[in-house]
Amino acid sequence: MENVILIVHLILALCLIGVVLLQRSEGGGLGMGSGGGGVMTGRQAASALGKLTWIFAAAFIATSILMTVIAAKNSAGGSVVDRLGTAPAAREETVPSLPGGDSLLPPTSGDAPLAPPRAD
């Protein structure tokens, strides 16, 4: 059931994108810069694409809410942390080594080379 709703949701999203891109641009964001008959003025006759946009948008929101309700119902109050189970056992950290057996760590005091003899 969830997969069917998800597929319908994705198809609605694509249809909504297509219908919005097909509409005629009226220029200027929110009618700014255009003459007297912009978006902010009186009610205009809705075109078929405008009505279709509202239908697709309402259906998109409805499927979004429906998927949220289904996801909340399937979670049944459980947390992601509850599903993890017990904590993993502590693992011992190992130091990587070079092919010759040398460690990649800096030398410790016991590994330090002896100082060369001083010539007096």
Each residue of 39-68: pLDDT tens digit?
Answer: 544 455 568 888 999 999 999 999 999 999
Question: Residue 7 is part of which domain span?
Answer: 1-23+48-73
User: Which residues are within 8 A (CB) of 20 and not within 5 positions of it... i.e. 6 or more apart?
Assistant: 53
Domain count, the chain: 1
Q: Could you tell me if residue 13 is inside a domain? A: yes
Specify whether the CB–CB gap between 28 and 34 falls below 8 A: yes
Residue 77 to residue 118: CA distance in whole angstroms: 75
Helices (H), the chain: 2-22, 48-75, 80-84
Structure tokens at 58: 């309402």
Q: Which has more confidence, 47 or 114?
A: 47
pTM: 0.52
Does residue 69 belong to any structural domain of this protein?
yes
For residues 60 and 16, the answer to whether their CB atoms sit within 8 Å is yes
Do the domain assignments include residue 52? yes
Quick check: is 104 in a domain? no
Distances (CA, A) of 55 to 60, 67, 94: 9, 18, 61
Q: Sorting pLDDT into bands at 50, 70 and 90, what band is 105?
A: low
Q: Is residue 111 part of a domain?
A: no
Question: CA 19 to CA 3: how far, in whole Å?
Answer: 24
pLDDT at residue 55 in the model: 95
CA 117 to the chain's CA centroid = 64
